[in-house]
A = this chain, B = another copy of it.
């Protein structure tokens, strides 16, 4: 089958690799990918910011159709259209039951290994083995038309990661919100805050195309300034003290610093940007201001069941973050488009 492999900095190749096979653990399924995509975090090894052992398979977001299931799989069957979270989880352990499926006691990672040490395929390929099919996969009842696929695909990671930022920051009806980061996750966080009833949502963005999506997603205001200047503008907009919630969707030292300093006293930062080399949080600042910090790797599987109906009935259209589509065989171009910020997020179709 065809799959995407990263060989090094800005070296993405589409290659023939062996088809996955069931592991023998009895809980897995093989899924034929209908749609996948490139994540902002995929750009890190691509840009040489992180240095995993390469060459390696890559990609962790996909929807697809089940081809084959192991003997112990009961909820998922061949022919089902399924949404995969960006990780594998059992759905049964205490952390899964608590709604933190990203801390599953049998966690596995696409493009890495499963709980038992078997290899797991990256999602940017034709076929993917899912180690806990019953626990990880969500069946889309009755399947879906092709035009729904991009929206469903956002439930694999990007929209629900934005949602996690909003939930972690305690966004609710009437909240005032600022979103730091105008990538696909930041834009998704705008939409998620809007869906949760935020009264005013400020997108921090300096790119016209992204500002446009932010407004479509419910942003009431756009602020292009960053750092001290951006913070001063935000404070001015909200009684001189800042908004209730700040959603940090980048993961750099600068973005977290901006988020922490923007929230009003007693406000909350919800963060989903993968912390990339810093910073550590300043306790004394948090103590003095009572600004809380909560978030992390988004337990998207725990949110799918709540959100899926709104995607299926068309009331929620998070797939708008995909503004360019590429053939799986041309993954290199999909990466380059995002790297050069020509694309917000690249969709990959087989």
Contact = CB atoms under 8 A, between A and B. Distances in A.
B281 A275 contact: no
Nearest to A264: B98
Interface in A274-290: 274-275, 278-284, 286-290
A94 interface: yes
Interface in A103-123: 103, 105
B289 A103 contact: yes
Contacts of A295: 286-287, 290, 292
Interface in A237-277: 239-241, 256, 264-266, 268, 271, 274-275
Contacts of A283: 256, 275, 278-281
Contact of A265 (B98, B264, B280, B294): B98
Nearest to A104: B265
Contact of A241 (B94, B256, B264, B271): B94
A156 interface: no
Contact of A290 (B100, B266, B274, B278): B100
Interface in A75-95: 94-95
A332 interface: no
A94 B240 contact: yes
A300 to B, nearest CB: 12
A124 interface: no
15 contacts: A94-B239, A98-B265, A100-B265, A102-B265, A102-B290, A168-B290, A168-B292, A256-B283, A275-B287, A278-B283, A280-B282, A281-B286, A289-B296, A292-B292, A294-B294
A183 B76 CA distance: 53
Can you list the 5 inter-chain pairs with the closest CB atoms, starting with the nearest?
Answer: A292-B294, A103-B265, A280-B280, A100-B266, A281-B281
A293 interface: yes
B271 A287 contact: yes
A157 to B, nearest CB: 15
Interface string A320-336: 00000000000000000
Interface string A146-170: 0000000000000000000000100
Contacts of A73: none
A99 B278 CA distance: 32
A109 to B, nearest CB: 12
A186 interface: no
A123 B250 CA distance: 46
Contact of A266 (B95, B105, B265, B274): B95
B297 A290 contact: yes
B287 A268 contact: no
A299 interface: yes
A164 B118 CA distance: 46
Nearest to A287: B296
Contacts of A280: 279-283
A293 B290 contact: no
A275 B284 contact: yes
A290 B281 contact: no
Interface in A215-249: 239-241
B282 A268 contact: no
Interface in A281-318: 281-284, 286-297, 299
